[in-house]
Structure 1
Amino acid sequence: MEEKYPVLQNAEPFYFEGNEIGILVSHGFTGSTQSMRPLGEAYAKAGYSVCVPRLKGHGTHYEDMEQTTYQDWIDSIEDGYEWLKKRCGTIFVTGLSMGGTLTLYTAQNHPEVKGIIPINAAVDIPATSGAPSTEIPRFLDAIGSDIKKPGIIELAYEKTPAKSIGEINHLMEKVKGNLSSITCPALIFVSDEDHVVPPGNAQIIYDGISSELKKIVPLKNSYHVATLDHDQELIIESTLAFIKHHS
């Protein structure tokens, strides 16, 4: 699938070649790299090698997204993983929302991953499974910019393709069914109030993975896009401490 639309400003992928410890960073469903750039830049500043790929069909136009499958999104993350693997002996993975789902997927398929940091990760969203497709319009309302901090806007699509909801459901089903294969250390962030992914997803992940070292960190002052919200510094500092401890 060739994308028809140009990449939006601030939605470009972000790469930084640092030391031999790599951090793969994934944005979420209908979002863009803009939501993860503050984290990527902080990790680069700390000296790590960083890769923030743009998921296929994202950061351009929602019609491009409509043409992509969950396998395209997996491929985007796999490409980023390969880029880091060529440069780093140790890799950590973090992601927001569906980026958290892809973080879990990466750990399931690359047991050598040293640690994962899912942020408001999605494995079970009851609201997205339901009515048959005949009753759903082609494009639904946007889900982006669920942010508590005033004046902060997420660079995300103004519409959500109905077809793409089917794709994220397939991805969540796949990942949720294989949680027990994850054994690496996990730092699981969850906002107390989230209007996109039910906060209970964090407990499902915590209970499902086989990791001996796992911890849930509540984000008390952020909504779904916590990486751009009041708890941004807490996420950055906790992640850096987690990576330092486990690398």
Structure 2
Amino acid sequence: MGYLTAAAGPASTDVAARSGDPATLIDTSPGAWEGGPDGILVLHGFTGSPHSVRPWAESLAAAGYAVELPLLPGHGTSAEDLAGRGWREWTEAVDAAYWRLRGRADRVGVAGLSMGGALALHLAARRPVAAVSLVNPGVVSPTPLLSVARLLAAAVPTVGGVGDDISLPGRREGAYERTPVRAAGELHRLFRAARRTLPAVTAPVQIFKSLVDHVVPQDSLDHLVRRLGRTPEVLELHKSFHVATLDRDAPLIFENSLRFFSHEGLRAGDPESPGR
């Protein structure tokens, strides 16, 4: 395994504010960028949106990759919407984004933050994926209570939010302020499904892990190292909390994920202007 330290990263803000200042606007919309011949699918986390990983997607697009950045069902809308969604809707949305990208890319790599990491691994176990790069991926629930979340939801519909775990003062990812308990139960089901398929992941895996993470327990990384089909490359993040793609270590993530995808044979074309 490899271990690295890190540097500084870009900014984020609050989705609820939605000010007119481009520097503080939360953009929850999906994105797609031309490039290639190969492409990268980038996946956001639970209760978040593409905003939390957009700088990562843009860095991959700027390097010349085709990039697909989907908005997962129930996200970027409201906590009430998320409460009515199931984990299979998320995996189906990831599948759809994968096939859209395959329509314009010869080979596909996958990048994911937090729950996006579980979705990336679940995809890689079922579809041809060339390489997987993950930031603070979750595959183990932080509390056993999530196994009975459906029962708890009747009495406690929501709990406090899990977003904005960022070390930089004033930086926000724009996740929901409240977490639907029923949706948290679906997250638990997704984690269970992802864990079951880990031995089937044969693609090389890179994992960035924050030393201080208030959202995903260390158990997730330990489980991945034990159960993946091949030993992952692990890079430590010393200056970021959970949402490291918007934190001080963001440049390290962008640089080293590009190195990783290139090393694993994913080919980029001429750099494109971000957005399409």
Matched residue, 1:218: 236
Q: Within 2, Cα distance between the matches of 1:149 and 1:80?
A: 31
Q: Does 1:89 align with 2:131?
A: no
SS of alignment partner, residue 76 of structure 2: coil
TM-score (norm 2): 0.83
- Report Cα offsets for 1:118-149 as digits up to 9, x if no partner: 21111112415358424751011100000001
> For 2:213, which of 170, 181, 194 is the aligned residue?
194
Matched residue, 2:143: 127
> For 1:243, which of 261, 266, 274 is the aligned residue?
261
Q: Within 2, Cα distance between the matches of 1:167 and 1:187?
A: 26
Q: Within 2, Cα distance between the matches of 1:218 and 1:81?
A: 28
SS of alignment partner, residue 189 of structure 1: strand
> For 1:117, which of 133, 158, 162 is the aligned residue?
133
- Report Cα offsets for 1:160-203 as digits up to 9, x if no partner: 00100110101101111221111111101111011110133112
User: What amino acid is the match of 1:140?
Assistant: V
> For 2:32, which of 15, 18, 25 is the aligned residue?
15
Instruction: Say which is worse superposed, 201-210 or 80-89, in terms of deviation.
Output: 201-210
Contact 1:202 1:216 in 2 (8 A): no
Q: Within 2, Cα distance between the matches of 1:82 and 1:93?
A: 12
> For 2:168, which of 142, 149, 156 is the aligned residue?
149
Decide whether aligned partners of structure 1 residues 128 and 148 sit closer, same or farther in structure 2, where only a CA change above 3 A counts: farther
Identity %: 37
Quote how far apart the aligned CAs of 1:108 are: 0.7
Query: Tell me, which stretches of 5 or more residues in structure 2 are unaligned?
Result: 1-17, 19-25, 266-276
Matched residue, 1:77: 94
Decide whether aligned partners of structure 1 residues 229 and 165 sit closer, same or farther in structure 2, where only a CA change above 3 A counts: same
Matched residue, 1:168: 187
Q: Within 2, Cα distance between the matches of 1:72 and 1:130?
A: 19
Number of aligned pairs? 238
Instruction: Say which is worse superposed, 232-241 or 124-133, in terms of deviation.
Output: 124-133
Q: Within 2, Cα distance between the matches of 1:219 and 1:197?
A: 14
Matched residue, 2:59: 42
The RMSD of aligned alpha carbons is 1.5
- Which protein, 1 or 2, shows the higher relative CO under an 8 Å CA cutoff with sep ≥ 6? 2
User: What amino acid is the match of 2:252?
Assistant: L
Contact 1:16 1:50 in 2 (8 A): yes
